[in-house]
Structure 1
Amino acid sequence: MKRIKVGMLVFPGFQLLDIAGPRDAFAEVKILSKGECEYEMLTVGTTRGAVQSSSGLSTMPDRTIFDVCPEFDTIIVPGGLGIFDAFDDPALSGWLRTQHRQCRRVSAICNGLFALGAAGLLDNKVVTTHWMDVPRLAATFPKAKIEPDHIFVQDGNIYTTAGVTAGIDLSLAMIEDDFGRQMALDVAKYLIVYLRRAGGQSQFSPLLETQASPGSQMIALQQFMLDNLHVDHTVASLAERVHMSARNLSRLFAKECRITPMTFLANARIDAARRFLEATDLSLRDIAQRCGFEDTDGFRRTFHRRLQINPADYRDRFRSKKPLAEKKKSGAPRAESRVSATVSNSAMRDPR
């Protein structure tokens, strides 16, 4: 039997799902392998006695950071509001540094990586966390290289994830590394989740933070681009539409939307392509044409460069079971064509 020891840290106010999700995923390996493979999981508390999670449920740790622990292969640090009271505890930092020297993998879910940062484990490391905690993370650990829009990131033996349910994505990635893709697929099927979202998949639509103010010329221009993604736009053609110079348009658009018009257009095309892949059976050629890509090969290259996954694999992982019938002949799906709405539910990629 191949057995892998996993230590799961718990502290007052930890997020229960950050531990329960990976624990359930790991537990299925023994069942599905009929006992040939197993994760041996122990909880390790930062305090003695029962530890209450942020939801109010409590757990009694198997060990504490003050006890002798077995030699773990993998450490998982959950997130939760309690991390901000616990992360800079010198005893915890010392324990994590020791585990980092001894373990094959040290991982943090959501804002659990603040504990890794306090232990000095994030310096010059590429990491991610829940998008709401990115500003605080950058201010607290300026040496960390933050990817704010990723589901999970691996840099050496340090693994970090976005919020809550991203811990299941991470655990499935670890199962695939440890026991192969088929085992990860079997576990995912049993849990009724995706095999795993690509680590580079966006936590949310790239249009969320670049919406212009309601009623402005720029939001009208954004809407025009969204409704006409298939058109070969240029800064000059867009400027002509709003009756201003290309230079003035670029200045105003960047001031109000914090990106250039062409970057917004590129983001919108990728976002629409994702929606088509998730919700329709359109061919890659048709999607490329509707979203304004020069050809199918160019679409594949751009999509892979942005999301670290090719369009066909993205569709396999994220497509709805019953793709929507396509009635509109051009442009993006209607649910995605209104910038004035915050973002439709399907546009949101739950960071948790």
Structure 2
Amino acid sequence: MQRRVVIVVFEGFQLLDMAGPADVFALADLMAGADGYQVEVTAVRAGSVTAHNGIATVVSTPLHRVDGPIDTLMVAGGLTTMEFLPDRELVGGIERLACLSRRITSVCSGALFLAEAGLLDGRRATTHWLIADTLRGRYPRVDVDADPIYVKDGNVWTSAGVTAGVDLALALVAEDHGHRLARDVACGLVVYLHRPGGQSQFSMPMSAFPPRSEPLRELQAFIDANPADDLSVPALARHAGMSERHFSRVFTEQAGMPPGRYVERSRADAARRLLEVTDHPLERVAREAGLGTPETLYRVFHRHWRISPGAYRRRFQAKES
């Protein structure tokens, strides 16, 4: 039988909070066949519900008419979340549907609705890092962890902001059908290969500034996407069409760090991701991350995180389990 997924939205919701997971479930349904997913969208009232970006979604069944059983309840977030928290029809409807659901989830600030309904009391939860203090301050019975991209506590899952909803949905597919299907869905959607929930919302390359120059922004993206390539200053300068001296000066000025340091940080972050999502031996991790040897991997990893790659993998896997 298809697994029924009900996504709750409201006026001004974040479209990607709904559309990202919905596309994950739709592709998983196509790949899994009869054991896939059926997605429904609901709101307090039937009809057109407009996202913050102005795109309207048509709701066929209002919240009070949705009945069980439900496999997965998902509550979207959005910039208007605080405006709708006092809406008893919305919050009460979420609470009622939670009782009919095998699994309860939220994306981004949707965690505030779960907390308002009392569904996060005594649980560990996450949300977009920008509103973590709001969640923590309003709901002291919730154990708020602002770092992970998603958190599972029993049958309740919460995720960080916006695109983290895709990671959450892929994790739900992996729980239901295994990691192979989740990987196939991720590849089909051309998204990152199922980031584990314990991964931080803050990746290392994000700590650098995005350059003002579009060619340098494209070069920065190239570095992050191709850690095993020749990323020496002469090679990058040629790629940018600049002299080495001019390239180093402009990159440092616009990115906030020299190109060599950015490359090392990007490669270290690539190695961290490989340790999180693969069981590759350290030799392969070092090679694919552009660090060459396990010895270099160890030095770079210890310099940035004060921990060995092997210890990080063990600690991360323990956190995930």
Q: Does the TM-score normalized on the shorter chain lie above 0.5?
A: yes
Q: Deviations along 1:102-138, whole A, 9 cap, x unmatched? A: 2111101001111001101111110001111011111
Q: CA deviation at 1:303?
A: 4.8
Helix, strand or coil at the partner of 1:43: strand
Paired residue for 1:195? Answer: 193
Q: Structure 1 unaligned runs (5+)?
A: 210-268, 311-352
Q: Pick from 143, 159, 164: which aligns with 1:145?
A: 143
| Cα RMSD after superposing both structures | 2.8
The separation in 1 between residues aligned to 2:182 and 2:28, in whole angstroms, is 8
Amino acid at match of 1:5: R
1:304-343 mapped onto 2 (5 Å cutoff): 304-305=314-315
Where is the helix percentage greater, Structure 1 or Structure 2? 2
Letter in 1 for 2:7: M
Corresponding residue number in structure 2 for 1:285? 295
Match of 2:88 in 1: 90
Q: Structure 1's 275 and 191: CA in aligned 2 closer, same or farther, altered over 3 A?
A: closer
CA contact (8 A) 2:205 2:265 kept: no
Q: Which has the larger radius of gyration?
A: 1
* Partner SS for 1:36: helix
Tell me what 2:183 maps to.
Answer: 185
- How far off its partner does 1:172 sit? 0.6
1:281 is displaced (CA, Å) by 4.5
TM-score normalized with structure 2 length: 0.70
Greater RCO (Cα-Cα under 8 Å, separation 6 or more): 1
**Inter-partner Cα distance in structure 2 for 1:271 and 1:141:** 37
Pairing of 1:13-28 with structure 2 (within 5 A): 13-28=12-27
Say if 2:203 and 2:269, in contact at 8 Å, map to a contact too: no
Q: Is the 8 A contact 2:7 2:41 kept in 1?
A: yes
* Alignment CA distance shift 1:25-1:286 (3 Å): same
Q: State percent identity of aligned pairs.
A: 35
Change (3 A) 1:189 1:94: same
Cα 1:195–1:306 shift into 2, 3 Å? closer
Which structure 2 segments of 5+ residues have no match? Answer: 208-263, 274-288
Quick one: distance in 1 between partners of 2:149 and 2:134?
18
Q: Report the alpha carbon displacement of residue 307 of structure 1 after superposing the two structures with TM.
A: 7.8
- Measured after TM superposition, the shift of residue 14 of structure 1 is 0.5
- Looking at structure 2, the residues matched to 68 and 204 of structure 1 have their Cα atoms a distance apart, in angstroms, of 37
Rate the CA distance shift 1:69–1:101 in 2: closer, same or farther, 3 A: closer
Kindly tell me the number of residue pairs found equivalent between the two proteins.
Answer: 247
Does residue 12 (structure 1) correspond to residue 14 (structure 2)? The answer is no
- Given candidates 168, 171, 182, the residue that maps to 1:170 is 168
CA distance in 1, matches of 2:319, 2:185: 21
Alpha-carbon separation, structure 1, partners of 2:147 and 2:309:
21
